[in-house]
Amino acid sequence: MILVKRVYERFLVTDGRRVLVDRLWPRGIRRNTPNVDIWLKNVAPSDELRKWYMHDPKKWLKFKKRYLEELRDNRAIEQLIRIAEATDPVTLVFAAKEEHRNNATILRTYLEKRLERERKLAVKERLKMLKAGKLQLK
């Protein structure tokens, strides 16, 4: 399960691993806070895109499209995918005041789709190996 939460919200044990997905460290948050387990700033939107968007609701759809394009070419996303595979739940934390139109919500949807696609591929591969006799059920 992938959750999304503001970094300023109270840390809960049920949050699982908390991953900060902003390019800049949030104001007023200490570096050793329990609210952040790992900071993956390289999965955040580029500085250029972040500055262009400035949380303007009129730019939301274009921002979303451009950020998804950046994610497709982003090698750092693989680390986040591995964390999401290994940890349940994982919480993507962000600093923006806007709780619904931000990079973390886009990232959650992107991750959920990628993880589902990878699960389906893994099942297909296992079935293929079973048919070829390279894998046996116990």
pLDDT in tens, 39-57: 999 999 999 999 999 989 9
Residues forming beta bridges with residue 39, ordered by sequence position = 20
pTM: 0.85
Using a 10 angstrom Cβ sphere, with 0-12 exposed, 13-18 middle and 19 or more buried, the burial of residue 23 is middle
Pull the structure tokens for residue 66. 């451009």
β partners of residue 18: 91
pLDDT per position as a tens digit, 74-98: 999 999 999 998 888 999 999 999 8
